[in-house]
Amino acid sequence: MSGALGDMWDYLRSSEAWSGRNGLPALAWAHLRVSAVAVLVAAAVAIPAGVLLGHVKRGALLAVSVVNIGRAVPSFAVLALLLPFSLRYGFGLGFWPTIVALVLLAVPPIFTNTYTGVRDVPADAVEAAQGMGMRGGELVRRVELPVALPLVLTGLRVSAVQVVATATLGALVGYRNLGTLIVTGFTSPNKGRMLAGAVAVALLALAVDAIFALAARLLVPWRRKPGRWADAAVAGPDGGAAPAAP
Amino acid sequence: MRDRQASAPADVAVPVGAPPPVAEIGAEPGPPADAGGQVALRLDRLTKVYPGASRPAVDGLDLTVPRGELVALVGPSGCGKTTTLKMINRLVEPTSGTVWLDGVDVRSLPVHELRRGIGYVIQQAGLFPHRKVRDNIATVPRLLGWPRRRIDDRVHELAELLDLDPDLLDRYPAALSGGQQQRVGVARALAADPPVLLMDEPYSAVDPIVRARLQDELMALQRRVHKTIVLVTHDIDEAIKLADRIAVLNVGGVLEQVGPPEDLLREPATDFVADFLGEDRGIKRLSLLRVGSAALRRGPVVGTAASADEARQVMAREGTDWVVVCAGDRLRGWVGADELDRVATVADAEPRRFAAVVRADTTLRSALDVIVTSRSRVAVVVDDPHAGAAGASPDARYLGILTLDDLAEGVTG
Amino acid sequence: MTAPLAAAEPLVRWDWVRDHTDDITAALWEHLHLTAVSVAVGFAISLVLALVAVRWRWTYEPLAGVCSVLYAIPSLALFGVLVAIPFFGLGFRTSLVALVSYTLLILLRNIVAGLDGVPPAAREAADAMGYERWRRLLQVDLPLAVPAIVAGLRIATVTTVGLVTVTALVGMGGFGDLINDGLSRDFPTPIVVGTVLSVALAVALDVLFVGLEWLITPWARARGAAAGGSGRAEVAT
Ligand SMILES: Nc1ncnc2c1ncn2[C@@H]1O[C@H](COP(=O)(O)OP(=O)(O)OP(=O)(O)O)[C@@H](O)[C@H]1O
Ligand SMILES: [Mg+2]
């Protein structure tokens, strides 16, 4: 271990670590880019779907199924399955299979949290809004979404952290990112790069987690008072944490 | 203590007679003089200051609970009733002061043993949702390690005592009504036959009709088992109805007055107590008196064979314009003066039913209500267990009449 | 790493499946074994952590924080670090540590939420009737927390089944070995077989837990939906 730490230190001091397409900055940027695109695409799909189903209060079975199946499908397997097709239909190595696997990973938490958040908006709040003459879209925009916002943000946060952590696997199908340092390290006797890559991904994931926590604090001031933010994220007895991690 | 309570069946748990007078307030420290005698429970300068609180929740409370009596703790919300109750079974540890149970400082007993010997009933019943009714009731006997047979027998005995359908025993609490749950809660508290029962607003979560029935059941139960009961309530009527003595607490856990309900209603010691008892204090006193205990008047009674003239004489004597018609001691109805003109005997006038019928064990308060709602000025008193709003059965035994004037006397006398 | 796929290659070659039933069975057992040991160890650890967190409330935040960090580390990164340590190396120990560390947060949160969800009236009644602390925990608190605990176990198990495929990279992968094999030979049959069986295993174990919960919480059935159960949508955290 100490040998590996020393190797990491040596690697970090080398110019190779900080420049070129295999340098940490370039790899980290690629890592973030694929993660951000995946989360945005997932949000664009999952939030409208969750709001719609939550608003009409239908589709509980669908919600449960999406989450359970989503959790059961291993991202690694998705990557492995997609790669041949990506190649066959000319999308090439790397980016596209990675994006698809990550979007599939990111959709379930965002979708269920949005769905549950909107569905469980207190009935009296909805009735009061209707009493004031709000209908359909206006009701969603001015009451249901704001009330559901904390849960939606929690879903985004869970997804983002998992996506950042899982994007690492893209390296296995040829998408160059921080995972590349790890994958190439497996076969190399020098573990310095691998360790550097591992630490970098972990730091990135924790940073994304912290950024979302902060954003939630700023965007949802009314949730700050009662207790800890982290606890607001704890789901009820049926809830618990997130779907398949990397 | 454990052995006695473990072996005694429910209805002979504690020997009782009329409790003799008891020193109201024990000011001197140290164990009560009559350890193991007539005083079951004594709170001695009991004080509780919750951590971080600026004022005590309970402040220097002295209270004596005679054996076999039901003492009600009443007072406004937040005055420390629950805190007081919990200090008795040490769910809350007092800041200072002592609770004596049968002359023993409760702190000298292992806390689990103490609690197994004290029944506890709370508002939401607090049943274990994951255990069947029968297992809920068996909780404390199991903790005490009773043999299985004895536990089964005890569960059935209690089901009968509390009027629980045996079918309910194998259900889970979620499948019971609120009133049934509350009864199971009481059965569970009584399971190991503890001499002392603590009840914290046991009936405040059920609707008024069920509440009245549960209160009646508790009174009937208490007549059989004679527990020493401390009952917390903020329903003053409940306290008046159930308690042998009422202790009124003020905010901060200060004892304002303690005594039998009549005493409080007749002579409230402070303005606070008077306010708390309410403006209709006089009316409330009526609920402490029963029709049978008021001197019943015989009233203008004639036999079925009486002639119209005889009936008019009775009316003149009693100062009424109607007579009660009886066959022997059985009530037949009443006949008005103007109906006598055309008939030979009162029976020919076809006696009409009384609109207001009460029994000897009806409270004067209910009797007043019956009289007022029937829009008559008089109620007939009969010895008929089924008498009620629908009137008396045809052969109810006649006991007398009760007028508004009699009721007024009940309040002032 | 890969060459363009021969256009004629079918998704599944059934003769390959026939010829490799032994390998597939072996992969199933390895997958099950790793999953079972990881979830069991993870559950034991989180139960202890949860009891500590409930007993000494202030420890909850730090404990959950440590578990969150473990949860945020990508499996590949954790493998990378652990493989570098001689005691772990390639194989079972590394896989186990990584898999267990992912179950902790999920299980800890659910067990604590379950214990917190015990009706206060039931807890107070238990105390008032003279339960000792440990006895109340075993006979009242834990049974009532079962639905939440099982919910956590379901998520942890399904997640672990998916993660085991990745442990193929450190030489212990169950169905992941099939997937890895297909990937490196550019041969889709084992990839499809491994993926389908992995999903099927996850779903089967999930259903198993639902059945288990149904069996051990008869009271939750007493009043249908009112008592809650597994049918509700799950909220990711
Ligand atoms: N665990 C506690 N910690 C701090 N303060 C408490 C605690 N329990 C009660 N108190 C405070 O002590 C006072 C008395 O509370 P208690 O529950 O005994 O009142 P109560 O008479 O039973 O009221 P209610 O009729 O509303 O049930 C209140 O001011 C309450 O806020
Ligand atoms: Mg109270």
Structure tokens at C18: 């026939």
Structure tokens at B246: 């009422």
C183 contacts in A (CB within 8 Å)? 80, 83, 172
Per the CB < 8 A criterion, the answer to whether B301 and B334 are in contact is: no
Ligand 1: which atom is nearest the Cα of residue B249?
21
Choose the closest CB to B130 out of C125, C131, C144.
C144
C226 contacts in B (CB within 8 Å)? 174
∠ CA(B386), CA(B387), CA(B391), 5° rounding?
A: 130
Q: What is the DSSP string of A200-229?
A: HHHHHHHHHHHHHHHHHHHH-GGGTSSS-H
- Residue B127 contacts C, CB cutoff 8 Å: yes
Q: How far apart are CA A15 and CA C136, in angstroms?
A: 62
Residues making up chain C, counted from first to last:
237
Per the CB < 8 A criterion, the answer to whether B36 and B222 are in contact is: no
Of the CA atoms within 13 Å of residue B77, those in its CB half-sphere come to 0
Of the CA atoms within 13 Å of residue B376, those in its CB half-sphere come to 17
Q: What is the DSSP string of B147-202?
A: -HHHHHHHHHHHHHHTT--GGGGGS-GGGS-HHHHHHHHHHHHHTT--SEEEEEST
Q: What's the confidence (pLDDT) of residue A226?
A: 35
**Does some domain include residue C30?**
yes
Chunked mean pLDDT (size 10), chain B, 413 residues: 37 37 43 61 94 91 93 92 94 94 92 92 89 95 94 93 90 90 92 93 86 88 90 90 93 90 89 88 80 80 87 88 88 86 83 86 86 84 72 77 81 63
Of C106 and C226, which is predicted with more confidence?
C106
Q: How far apart are CA B30 and CA C133, in angstroms?
A: 32
Q: What is the DSSP string of B268-279?
A: -SSHHHHHHH-T
Residue that has been written with the tokens 């950024």 in this structure: A211
**Shortest-distance Cα residue to atom 5 of ligand 1:** B50
Ligand 2 geometric centre to CA of B122 (Å):
9
**Does some domain include residue C103?**
yes
Whether the pLDDT of residue C94 is over 90: the answer is no
**Shortest-distance Cα residue to atom 23 of ligand 1:** B78
Per the CB < 8 A criterion, the answer to whether A64 and C234 are in contact is: yes
Q: How far apart are CA B324 and CA B313, in angstroms?
A: 13
Q: For chains B and A, tell me whether 3 or more CB atom pairs sit within 8 A of each other.
A: no
CA distance readout (Å), A218 to A145, A153, A234, C84, C235: 16, 11, 19, 41, 22
**Does some domain include residue C169?**
yes
Amino acid, single-letter form, for residue B289: L
Over residues A3-27, the pLDDT tens digits come to 777 888 888 888 888 887 788 889 9
- Residue B143 contacts C, CB cutoff 8 Å: yes
Q: How far apart are CA C76 and CA A197, in angstroms?
A: 10
- Residue C1 contacts A, CB cutoff 8 Å: yes
CA R_g for chain A: 21
Q: How far apart are CA C235 and CA C87, in angstroms?
A: 38
**Does some domain include residue C49?**
yes
The count of structural domains within chain C is 1
Reduced DSSP (H G I as helix, E B as strand, rest coil) percent helix, strand, coil of chain C, to 5: 80, 0, 20
Q: How far apart are CA B190 and CA C129, in angstroms?
A: 11
CA distance readout (Å), A56 to A80, A121, A139: 38, 12, 12
Q: How far apart are CA A30 and CA A36, in angstroms?
A: 10
Q: Which of B81-95, C134-148, C184-198 shows the lowest per-residue confidence on average (mean pLDDT)?
A: C184-198
Q: How far apart are CA B348 and CA B333, in angstroms?
A: 12
Structure tokens at C19: 């010829």
Strands B104-105 and B96-101: antiparallel
Amino acid, single-letter form, for residue B379: A
Nearest partner of B225 among B114, B70, B380, judged by Cα = B70
Domains of chain A: 2-220 (1.10.3720.10)
Ligand 1 geometric centre to CA of B57 (Å):
7
**Does some domain include residue C88?**
yes
Mutate to test the interface with C, among B130, B146, B176, B190 (most CBs of C within 10 A): B130
Q: How far apart are CA B332 and CA B393, in angstroms?
A: 10
Binary contact (A195, C84; C-beta < 8 A)? yes
Binary contact (A238, C114; C-beta < 8 A)? no
C161 contacts in A (CB within 8 Å)? 72, 74
Q: Residues B307-335, buried b or exposed e (16+ Cβ, 10 A)?
A: ebebbbebbeebebebbbbbeeebbbbbb
ipTM attached to this prediction: 0.79
B107 three-state secondary structure:
helix
Q: Where residue C225 falls among pLDDT bands split at 50, 70, 90?
A: very low
Q: Indicate if ligand 1 lies below 6 Å from the C-beta of B82.
A: yes
**Does some domain include residue C117?**
yes
Nearest partner of B237 among B366, B65, B57, B48, judged by Cα = B366
E-strand ranges in B27-78 read: 39-48, 58-66, 70-74
Q: How far apart are CA C69 and CA C76, in angstroms?
A: 15
Q: How far apart are CA C167 and CA B287, in angstroms?
A: 79
**Shortest-distance Cα residue to atom 30 of ligand 1:** B78
Per the CB < 8 A criterion, the answer to whether A167 and A245 are in contact is: no
Q: Indicate if ligand 1 lies below 6 Å from the C-beta of B80.
A: yes
Over residues B350-384, the pLDDT tens digits come to 888 888 888 888 888 888 888 888 888 888 888 87
**Does some domain include residue C39?**
yes
Residue that has been written with the tokens 């730091």 in this structure: A203
Q: Indicate if ligand 1 lies below 6 Å from the C-beta of B55.
A: no
Per the CB < 8 A criterion, the answer to whether B300 and B322 are in contact is: yes
B398 three-state secondary structure:
strand
Q: What is the DSSP string of B227-243?
A: -EEEEE-S-HHHHHHH-
**Percent of the residues in chain A that have a pLDDT greater than 90, as a whole number:** 16
Per the CB < 8 A criterion, the answer to whether B127 and B164 are in contact is: no
**Shortest-distance Cα residue to atom 16 of ligand 1:** B80
Q: Which of A170-184, C29-43, C218-232 shows the lowest per-residue confidence on average (mean pLDDT)?
A: C218-232
Q: How far apart are CA A239 and CA A63, in angstroms?
A: 13
Which among C53-57, C70-74, C219-223 has the top mean pLDDT?
A: C53-57
Per the CB < 8 A criterion, the answer to whether B392 and B351 are in contact is: no
Question: Searching chain A, which residue's CA lies closest to the CA of residue C82?
Answer: A1
Nearest ligand to the CA atom of B49: 1
Q: What is the DSSP string of C152-184?
A: HHHHHHHHHHHHHTGGGGGT--THHHHHHHHHH
Whether the pLDDT of residue A48 is over 90: the answer is yes
**Percent of the residues in chain C that have a pLDDT greater than 70, as a whole number:** 90
Q: What's the confidence (pLDDT) of residue B107?
A: 93
Q: How far apart are CA A179 and CA A176, in angstroms?
A: 7
Q: Which helix (H) or strand (E) holds B301?
A: strand B301-303
Nearest partner of B159 among B200, B129, B190, judged by Cα = B190
Pocket test residue of B83, B86, B204 for ligand 1, highest count of atoms within 8 A of CB: B83
Distance of CA A167 to the CA centre of its chain: 10
Domain assignment of residue C60, given as a range: 23-222
Amino acid, single-letter form, for residue C176: G
- The torsion defined by the Cα of B99, B105, B110 and B112, in degrees rounded to 10, comes to -30
**CATH code of C181's domain:** 1.10.3720.10
Beta carbons within 10 angstroms of residue A13's beta carbon: 10
Q: Indicate if ligand 1 lies below 6 Å from the C-beta of B65.
A: no
Binary contact (A155, C236; C-beta < 8 A)? yes
Q: Residue B65: phi, psi to the nearest 5?
A: -120, 110
**Does some domain include residue C86?**
yes
Q: How far apart are CA B403 and CA B184, in angstroms?
A: 42
Let me know if B345 is exposed, middle or buried by CB neighbors in 10 A (0-12, 13-18, 19+).
middle
Q: What's the confidence (pLDDT) of residue B354?
A: 86
Let me know if B91 is exposed, middle or buried by CB neighbors in 10 A (0-12, 13-18, 19+).
middle
Q: Residue B330: phi, psi to the nearest 5?
A: -95, 135
Q: What's the confidence (pLDDT) of residue B184?
A: 94
Binary contact (B174, C128; C-beta < 8 A)? no
Q: How far apart are CA C5 and CA A91, in angstroms?
A: 13
Q: What's the confidence (pLDDT) of residue B163?
A: 84
**Shortest-distance Cα residue to atom 26 of ligand 1:** B77
Per the CB < 8 A criterion, the answer to whether C165 and C174 are in contact is: yes
Q: What's the confidence (pLDDT) of residue B394?
A: 67
Which among A14-23, C103-112, C221-230 has the top mean pLDDT?
A: C103-112
Structure tokens at C142: 């834990």
Q: What's the confidence (pLDDT) of residue B280?
A: 82
Of A196 and B24, which is predicted with more confidence?
A196
Mean pLDDT of all residues belonging to chain C: 85
- The torsion defined by the Cα of C30, C33, C35 and C39, in degrees rounded to 10, comes to -160
**End-to-end CA separation in angstroms for chain C:** 37
Binary contact (B124, C121; C-beta < 8 A)? yes
- Residue B321 contacts C, CB cutoff 8 Å: no
